Amino acid sequence: MELIAFGVGVNWIAKLYKRLKRIRKKRKKELNEINDIMFGDPLELARYYVEPNCQETNPADRHEEDFLVSSEPIYKKIDEFLRAKKLDQPGNNQMFVLSDAGMGKTSLLAMLKLMHLTSFWPKNNDCVLKKLGKEMLVGVKNIENKRETILLLDALDEDPEAYRRVKERLLEVLKATENFHRVIITCRTQFFPEVEKGPFERPGLISVGGYVCPAKYLSLFNDEKVEFYLNKRFPGKYLLFKPKEKIKKAKEIIEHMGSLRCRPMLLAYIDKLMESPLSQEKINEYKIYNALVDSWLRREEVKTGFPKNELFKSCEILAIEMSIKGERDIAERELDLLIADVSGLKYVKAIDVKGRSLLNKNSIGNYRFSHYSIQEFLLTKHLIENPSINLEKKLKLTDLIAQMLIINCKFKDCHHFFDFDNTIFKNLDIRGVDLHKIERKEKGDFKGADLKGADLKGADLKGAKLMGANLIGANLQETDLQVADLKEVDLKEAKLNRGNLLGANLQGANLQEAELQMSDLSWADLQGANLQGTNFNNANLRGAKLDVTNLRKVKLQGAILQGFDLRGADLKEVDLHKTNLQETNLQGANLHKVNLREANLQRANLMKADLQGADLKGVNLQEANLQEAKLDVNNLKEAKLQ
């Protein structure tokens, strides 16, 4: 199929906006349908749209916001996907677009649909935009001419059918849509399930249930795109004030936003943030949403005469009620019934739901918040301020809600409101949170949890059940994991420095390249663990169980291995500088050319051990058994023998 050349600057966006203005009356029905999905005016979207870039790796996996990473215009990559030859491999025609909240996933699909409406695409190709939900598969099944149709499916993370069964739902969607010409599915990165890793795995592809699908992550806006958006938003000819003054004011707000300035959804409301006094300080994710809603309700206070605090409370309660039901919108009749039962809701209907209100109506009159993250914020705010309220059922914990609770140090106070089954904590900053006390089916039960890249620094996970969990690259520094069940946990490249792992079960765990410097692993069970490249420097391993045949390239400098049974161990290439091997049984061990400088081998059994070429400078061999040991006599000159 032929498409326009995407990614050639801003010209195609300007052309699209002009065409859209010409056809808006004729295409009113279709534009309303887009409005129902994106919760905003499609014309305004096209007018101010800035094309995002995309990349093949998750931006959240980079710890430095400005780290150099390869990215390209997203529509260029979509163009390549649409033009590519369809192969027999399942998933080849189904693409995922992933990002965090407020990064422009829905807007991306809405713009693709607007291209179709404005005849940027050939007339023989149809384009269907749908929100993933309960009736979606039925609607998809009834679409005719699938092989000439591009299907755009938004927000897997908001699909009620995916709750607690995201992988199963994902496979249902892939199966139901495999006969379409092309399919593009959006989802929050945090919500997306862990996928298979094949022998030919490479960036830009996702493998799940036999489907191998192309995937792109939306990149954060860089400073150039932020500047470009501000110039579009505040052009001189539309302002009473000088545009430079408006842009300067916007930049002052943006300066307080840190990396949040790079999120298109929050930038889109920069004019509202400029009106709020709450935005004049160093700001975090929670504060920025608070400033945004505060600005909106200040104007509603003037319009309605109702106190801002009461309007706030009504919106919070509405967010709670919708979240309990797992809904994104609520019918007016249902809202009226709720208002009759819950007096705190009475101000909702006084709010002006037109224009760029954060609460609006869709084409059938249902109320909804303009963006799901607004609903998440209002729910979080209400729980923080009312931690003792009783709810009729547990709520779904999203990554944004969890992060906002943590920012406010309220995770412990509010965790009882949430259902933690299948919760994904991927790349979530939960440092200092006492996860041990979270009420699950069993206390501290995190079996199979996805904690990849999570920041758990200083968390209390004493006795936690993390068997089979994904902790790749997680920050577990100073974390209390005493007697925790970490059997078969993937801790590849995890940081466990200064952690308490006394008596922990690490059987079969993957500790490849993990950092455990200065950690207490006394009496821990490390049998069958992958210790390739593991750093145990200055760690306490007294009484720990581990496979002595699996210690090559392990870093044990300054570690405490007192009393260990290392008979026949191959310690070649292991650095044992300053290691405490007091009373250790090293009978027949291979210590050939090993660095034992200043190590303590007092009363150690080195019978028949190979110490040829070993660096024994300053080593303590007092009362050690060197019977039949292979060593160079000259190397003993600087050793302590008495």
The string of pLDDT tens digits covering residues 110-166 is 999 999 998 877 667 899 999 998 888 888 989 999 999 999 999 998 898 988 788
Question: Could you tell me what percentage of the chain is helix, strand and coil, using 3-state DSSP and rounding each to the nearest 5?
Answer: 35, 15, 50
Q: What is the pLDDT of residue 473?
A: 87
- Average pLDDT estimate for 61-86: 75
Q: What is the pLDDT of residue 506?
A: 95
Q: Above 60 in pLDDT, residue 240?
A: no
Q: What is the pLDDT of residue 460?
A: 75
In this structure, how many other beta carbons lie within 10 angstroms of the beta carbon of residue 18? Answer: 11
Q: Above 70 in pLDDT, residue 440?
A: no
Determine which of 92-96, 246-250, 376-380 has the lowest per-residue pLDDT on average. Answer: 246-250
Confidence of residue 433 (pLDDT cuts 50, 70, 90): low
Which is higher by pLDDT, 450 or 105? 105
Which is higher by pLDDT, 146 or 553? 146
Tokens 């931690």, located at residue: 387
User: What is the pTM assigned to this prediction?
Assistant: 0.65
Q: Above 90 in pLDDT, residue 70?
A: no
pLDDT tens digits for range 279-313: 666 677 888 889 889 989 988 998 899 999 999 99
Q: Above 90 in pLDDT, residue 183?
A: yes
In this structure, how many other beta carbons lie within 10 angstroms of the beta carbon of residue 135? Answer: 9
Confidence of residue 449 (pLDDT cuts 50, 70, 90): low
Please, what is the end-to-end C-alpha distance for the chain in angstroms? 85
Confidence of residue 474 (pLDDT cuts 50, 70, 90): confident
Determine which of 63-67, 388-392, 435-439 has the lowest per-residue pLDDT on average. Answer: 63-67
Q: What is the pLDDT of residue 129?
A: 95
Residue-averaged pLDDT of the chain: 84
Q: What is the pLDDT of residue 469?
A: 79
Q: What is the pLDDT of residue 107?
A: 93
Confidence of residue 198 (pLDDT cuts 50, 70, 90): very low
What percent of the chain stands above pLDDT 90?
A: 42
Report residue 38 as tokens. Answer: 């994106």
Residue type for position 51: E
Q: How far is CA 472 from the centre of its chain?
A: 13
Q: Above 80 in pLDDT, residue 419?
A: no
Q: Above 80 in pLDDT, residue 556?
A: yes
Q: What is the pLDDT of residue 535?
A: 95
Q: Above 50 in pLDDT, residue 483?
A: yes
Determine which of 112-121, 486-495, 616-625 has the lowest per-residue pLDDT on average. Answer: 112-121
- Average pLDDT estimate for 429-445: 47
Closest C-alpha to 470, from 278, 192, 279? 192
Which is higher by pLDDT, 193 or 536? 536
Confidence of residue 436 (pLDDT cuts 50, 70, 90): very low
Q: Above 50 in pLDDT, residue 448?
A: yes
Do 250 and 274 touch, CB atoms closer than 8 A? yes
Q: What is the pLDDT of residue 423?
A: 60
Q: What is the pLDDT of residue 348?
A: 92
Q: Above 80 in pLDDT, residue 522?
A: yes
Q: Above 50 in pLDDT, residue 248?
A: yes
Q: What is the pLDDT of residue 562?
A: 87
Report residue 167 as tokens. Answer: 């992988």
- Average pLDDT estimate for 337-351: 90
In this structure, how many other beta carbons lie within 10 angstroms of the beta carbon of residue 59? Answer: 22
- Average pLDDT estimate for 472-493: 90
Do 172 and 141 touch, CB atoms closer than 8 A? no
Q: Above 50 in pLDDT, residue 547?
A: yes
SS3 track for 116-182: HHCCCCCCCCEEEEEECCCCHHHHHHCCCCHHHEEEEEECHHHCHHHCCCHHHHHHHHHHHHCCCCE
What letter does residue 330 receive in the DSSP assignment? E
